[in-house]
């Protein structure tokens, strides 16, 4: 399960989007429908969908998206998430920590004061 999370999942919300899409693989969900069901914003969901598509887990379908990944693998992750929610969330954040130093540096750089050039 950890390798699946490391390879495909960058946030808890992304996992929630994937799990919702797997519950009815024949249904195509629009970003608005996903956002309403998950009680988040359309923008946030829209940012998660390309990452799931790039991982081969979902595919565009008309105006929406539907699950297209390995149902057995995702079902194992869903069972773990249902039984060991905190451990799964910790695993997701542990994956994110690998990228954290660059993200923190970039964020800090945005607030770095620079001298303006003299005229």
Ranges of each domain in the chain? 2-108
- Check: CB of residue 26 under 8 Å from CB of residue 16: no
> pTM for the whole thing?
0.78
| pLDDT tens readout for residues 53-101 | 999 999 999 999 999 999 999 999 999 999 999 999 999 988 655 454 4
| pLDDT tens readout for residues 12-47 | 999 999 999 999 999 999 999 999 999 999 999 999
Q: What is the pLDDT, as a whole number, of residue 69?
A: 92
Tokens in use for 56? Answer: 């081969």
Evaluate whether the domain defined by 2-108 bears CATH number 3.40.50.300.
Answer: no
Report the distance separating Cα 63 and Cα 90, nearest Å.
33
Report the distance separating Cα 61 and Cα 84, nearest Å.
32
**Higher local confidence (pLDDT), 47 or 110:** 47
């Amino acid at each position: 399960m950890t390798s699946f999370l490391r390879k495909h999942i960058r946030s808890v919300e992304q996992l929630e989007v994937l799990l919702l899409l797997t519950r009815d693989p024949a249904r195509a969900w629009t970003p608005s429908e996903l956002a309403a069901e998950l009680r988040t914003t359309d923008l946030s969901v829209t940012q998660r969908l390309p990452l799931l598509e790039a991982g081969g887990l979902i595919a565009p379908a008309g105006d929406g998206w539907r699950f297209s990944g390995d149902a057995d693998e995702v079902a194992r992750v869903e069972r773990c998430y249902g039984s060991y929610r905190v451990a799964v969330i910790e695993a997701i954040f542990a994956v994110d920590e690998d990228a954290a130093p660059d993200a923190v540096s970039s964020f800090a750089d945005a607030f770095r004061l620079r001298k303006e050039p003299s005229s």
